């Protein structure tokens, strides 16, 4: 049974939305791990700091759950799709896993560095 074109385009749109969310979470991770971001001398708006502080981990969790669901659903769609169409879905999935790895590595690296230097776990001040 061939998949419908709507299934492919829907998966493509969902993959693009997931990639956009992953890029937003990556930008949030870069901000979170920059000590200048948390001080008033950096020139960052307070509203942006509050947005990153309150929404980073919920967005990260949503991204992770979307990535897990997208990988399973995308894998099932890949088995039924044509090779040409399946290749782009596979590329989107791999790109999202690379984004997830980059975000996780960045967050874990800072926390490990803080623990090794005797600071609290989520320490960001200079």
Q: What is the mean pLDDT of each run of 10 residues along the chain (126 residues)?
A: 65 90 95 82 84 93 94 75 69 92 92 87 68
Give the 3-state secondary structure of residue 37. Answer: helix
126 part of a folded domain: no
Report if residue 21 sits inside a domain.
yes
With contact defined as beta carbons under 8 Å apart, do 60 and 68 qualify?
no
pLDDT at 60: 96
- pLDDT for 83 equals 58
Structure tokens at 44: 């960052």
Domain-embedded: residue 87: yes
What pLDDT, on a 0 to 100 scale, did the predictor assign at position 3?
53
Domain count within the chain: 1
Residue 123: inside a domain:
no
Question: Cα(72)–Cα(78) distance, rounded to whole angstroms?
Answer: 10
Task: Give the C-alpha separation, 126 to 13, whole Å.
Answer: 41
* Tokens at 38, concatenated: 């948390």
Is residue 121 in a domain?
no
CB burial class (10 A; 0-12, 13-18, 19+) of residue 61? exposed
Tell me what pLDDT residue 122 has: 73
Residue 51 domain flag: yes
The answer to the question of residue 95 being in a domain is: yes
Q: Where are the alpha helices (DSSP H) in the chain?
A: 5-32, 46-80, 83-116
């Amino acid at each position: 049974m061939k998949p419908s074109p709507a299934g492919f385009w829907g998966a493509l749109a969902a993959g693009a939305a997931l990639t956009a969310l992953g890029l937003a979470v990556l930008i949030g991770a870069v901000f979170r791990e920059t000590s200048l971001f948390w001080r008033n001398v950096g020139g960052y708006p307070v509203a942006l700091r509050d947005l990153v502080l309150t929404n980073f981990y919920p967005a990260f969790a949503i991204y992770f759950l979307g990535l897990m669901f997208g990988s399973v659903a995308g894998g099932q769609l890949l088995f039924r799709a044509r090779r040409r169409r399946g290749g782009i879905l596979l590329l989107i999935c791999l790109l999202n896993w690379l984004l997830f790895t980059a975000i996780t590595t960045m967050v874990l690296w800072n926390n490990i560095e803080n623990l090794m230097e005797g600071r609290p776990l989520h320490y960001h001040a200079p």
